[in-house]
Structures are given as C-alpha cells and as structure tokens.
C-alpha cells in the first residue's frame, strides 16, 4: 500500500497542496520519500511488538478532505466539545479548519489561535510557524509521522507571546465526519503550539467523530514550552468505535518550564499514540499523566519517551488503564537521562486493571540512564480488582456492585486528580464515568 500513498502524494502536490511555501514543499518531498523507505511498521519491530497496524496498512484510505464538502452544523459539533460553551475553540473537520464552527473572539493580546494553513500562507505567523514546524517531531524514524508531514496541510496553530497569561483553555476539536461510506478516508491533522517565555496556557486537544464509519486519523502535534512558561495540555481521544487513530505528540521544554500532558484515551478500534517529551532546559518539570478506558475489542498502545537532556529536571509519569471484555492495552515507557542531566528526578508508574479474563495489558518500562546523580523509579501492575479492597468496602456497608464500580472509578480518578485545571477535569470526569458505565 506504500506506493498508493506515494501516488496520492503526487496528486496532492499536483492539486497545489494547499499552496504551501517552498520550504515546506521541500520537507514534504523528503517525508514522502522517507515514508516509502520505511513502509508501515510490522510486529517484528520492537517498538510495534504488541500492536499490529495491518488493518491500517491493508485498507485503502483516500484523503478525507474534499473541497466543497458540506460542514456539519454547530448543533452537531457542540456535544463533542469538552470545554464549556463560549470559550475559545478551533474546530477542524476532517483535518481542515472550519472557521464557521470556531470561535476565537476575546483572546487576550499576544495570543494567536487559528488555522495552520492560514498561518503558513504568509506574514509574521508564517515566520513563527517556520521556526518550529517539523523541527521538533522527528519524522525520519516514524513512518506515520513521515506520512503526516508529507500530507501536512492544516491543523491548529496556537501562539502565546512571552509573559502572556491565557486564562481560558483553548479547545482544539478535530471532528471526523466518517464521510463517504464506500471509501474509508484518512486525515493528517498537524498542530503547532508555541508558548513563549513566562507565558501560561491551557490547551484541550480533542478527537471525536460524527459517525461510526471506518476512517483513520494520523495526527502530529508539536508543543514548545518556553523558559519559565507553564502549559497544561489535555488530549482527549474519543474517536468512533471503528476508527483508527495514530498520533505523535512531541514536546520540547526550555529552562524552568512546566508541561502537564494529560492523555485520555476512550475511543477508536485501534489506537497508537507516541508521546515524546524533551526536557531541554535545566529545571524543567513534566507531568505525563494518562488514562485509557477500553472495552469491546479495542486496542490502544501508548508509547512514551521522557528525554531528560539537562540537569535538575523532574518528570512524573502516571498511566492507568481500565480494560474490559477483550480490550488490549499496551504501555511502553522509556526514560532517558542524558549525560550531564544530573539531579534528574523521574518517576514512572503504569497500573492496569483487568475487568475480564479476556482483557489483556502489556507494560514495558525502559530506563536508559547515562548520568550518575539521579533518582529514577518505575513500577507497573496488571491485575483484576483487589479482592481485599472489595471486602474492605463491603465491610463498610457498600454492596458488591457499588464496591466494584467505586474501585474501578478510583483507578481512573487517580489520573483525573492530577489534572491541574478543575474545569477541564470535571468535564473529563463526566466522559470517563460515561465510558465506565
């Protein structure tokens, strides 16, 4: 199927490819060539041992965005939003910005939120985008990131100028229409978030669907957190039940910055999310906080890399999975402490709750430590509900059903509790409760 994408790419470029600047055209050409070289990964590759992408590789996907396609109504979009109505939001339909469904009025001075395609077209935002776009998320090693880069056309561009405080969370909603039933489609949303020195922002990036058709989202987001900046980034994946979702999130943190990455995975038939974080300034702090709640025959694979490149960094990673029926959860957590990244404090935990005998979880920590004065711990668990805890709750008058649902919810609530923003947390709490019900 690799050739098919190369052919599609030629057609895409032939159609003007969204009128991209020359520097981007060059990167795209390189990316499609790299994709052709790499091909789709197979389970023979260590990084893909537990996740077969054959269903994606063997399906013919057409580019989702069709010019002149009818947009969904605001009423159809609103139930999919995580943040309260009236807040700033960018809505993308099949990967393309839909200004009619978006709302960016009332943003403070120094904040730009809009379409990446528009930003790339010209001006100061074009220069800003050029400075960062494709510079952080490496596509040389990942076929999916390469493919996203080749077809890079649109997505969100958020820029928060130095020392600007953005009080309200900005929601980025990526909606798949599922569209043409006879032809599965793919979109390659590409987002760039740049929060400059001393600024503060919260972003909620959400993937959702309007139909339960087969489609594929292949997303990449790059986030740059400047010196002393603080960013809370929420990523909510609730794609359709038959959807494929592959994504890379790459962050780069500068000195004394804080980045909270909260990933909640509820949807999709097959999902793979690579979260790559680089702590590239002394004293940077990262919270990598994830929750996956899966049922049916859902498969979700989370690969995380925490790269401590500078001293005095701190990273706290917590991933919990709740797996029911025949669901399969995969967690791979790699922590790298580079030479010279002394006084690094890194903690990783992955807990998996199996609610059925057919559910499965694979958990793999990988520590690569090249500095000697560091504190690194990791731990993982896979198992059913704790019988002793069940009995303890029953001995306090709770029914077995209540006790079970309380323990299960507690597994999820542990992750929700680490989210910095109460408003977003409350919304996600509702989504998670619904997923557990």
Contact residues toward other proteins (CB under 8 A) are 351, 386-389, 391-400, 402, 406-407, 409-417
Which CB, 57 or 390, lies closer to other proteins? 390
Which CB, 264 or 336, lies closer to other proteins? 264
Which CB, 201 or 291, lies closer to other proteins? 291
CB of 417 vs other proteins, minimal distance in Å: 7
CB of 349 vs other proteins, minimal distance in Å: 11
Which CB, 369 or 389, lies closer to other proteins? 389
CB of 347 vs other proteins, minimal distance in Å: 14
CB of 351 vs other proteins, minimal distance in Å: 8
Which CB, 79 or 397, lies closer to other proteins? 397
Which CB, 84 or 417, lies closer to other proteins? 417
CB of 415 vs other proteins, minimal distance in Å: 8
CB of 185 vs other proteins, minimal distance in Å: 38
Q: Write 41-46 long-range contacts (CB < 8 A, 24+).
A: 41/143
CB of 416 vs other proteins, minimal distance in Å: 8
Which CB, 157 or 331, lies closer to other proteins? 331
């Amino acid at each position: 199927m690799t050739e098919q994408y190369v052919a599609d790419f030629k057609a895409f470029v032939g159609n003007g490819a969204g009128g991209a600047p020359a520097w981007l055209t060059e990167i795209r050409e390189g990316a499609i060539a790299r994709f052709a070289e790499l091909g789709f990964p197979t389970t023979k590759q260590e990084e893909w041992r537990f996740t077969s992408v054959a269903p994606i590789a063997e399906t013919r996907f057409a580019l989702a965005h069709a010019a002149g396609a009818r947009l969904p109504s605001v009423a159809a979009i609103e139930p999919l939003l995580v943040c309260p109505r009236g807040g700033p939001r960018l809505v993308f339909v099949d990967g393309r910005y839909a200004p009619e469904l978006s709302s960016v009025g009332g943003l403070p001075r120094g904040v730009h939120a809009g379409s990446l395609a528009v930003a790339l077209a010209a001006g100061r935002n074009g220069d800003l985008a050029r400075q960062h776009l494709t510079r952080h998320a490496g596509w040389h090693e990942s076929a999916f990131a390469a493919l996203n880069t080749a077809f890079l056309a649109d997505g969100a561009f958020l820029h928060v100028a130095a020392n600007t405080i953005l009080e309200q969370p900005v929601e980025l909603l990526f909606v798949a229409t599922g569209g043409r039933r006879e032809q599965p489609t793919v979109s390659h949303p590409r987002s760039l978030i740049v929060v400059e020195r001393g600024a503060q922002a919260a972003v909620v990036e959400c993937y959702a669907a309007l139909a339960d058709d087969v489609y594929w989202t292949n997303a990449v987001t790059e986030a740059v957190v400047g010196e002393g900046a603080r960013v809370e980034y929420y990523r909510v994946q609730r794609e359709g039940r038959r959807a494929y979702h592959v994504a890379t999130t790459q962050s780069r943190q500068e000195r004394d910055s804080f980045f909270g990455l909260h990933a909640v995975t509820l949807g999709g038939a097959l999902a793979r999310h690579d979260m790559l974080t680089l702590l590239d300034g002394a004293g940077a702090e990262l919270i990598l906080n994830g929750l996956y709640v899966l049922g049916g025959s859902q498969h979700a694979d989370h690969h995380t890399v925490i790269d401590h490149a500078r001293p005095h960094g701190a990273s706290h990673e917590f991933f919990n999975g709740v797996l029911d029926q025949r669901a399969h959860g995969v967690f791979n957590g790699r922590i790298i402490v580079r030479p010279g990244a002394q006084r690094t404090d890194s903690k990783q935990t992955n807990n998996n709750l199996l609610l059925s005998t057919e559910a499965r979880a694979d958990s793999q920590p990988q520590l690569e430590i090249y500095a000697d004065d560091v504190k690194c711990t990791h731990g993982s668990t896979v198992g059913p509900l704790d019988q002793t805890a069940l009995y303890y709750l029953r001995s306090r008058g709770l029914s077995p059903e209540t006790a079970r649902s309380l323990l299960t919810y507690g597994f999820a609530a542990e992750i929700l509790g680490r989210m910095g923003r109460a408003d977003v947390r409350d919304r996600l709490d509702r989504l998670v409760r619904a997923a557990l019900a």
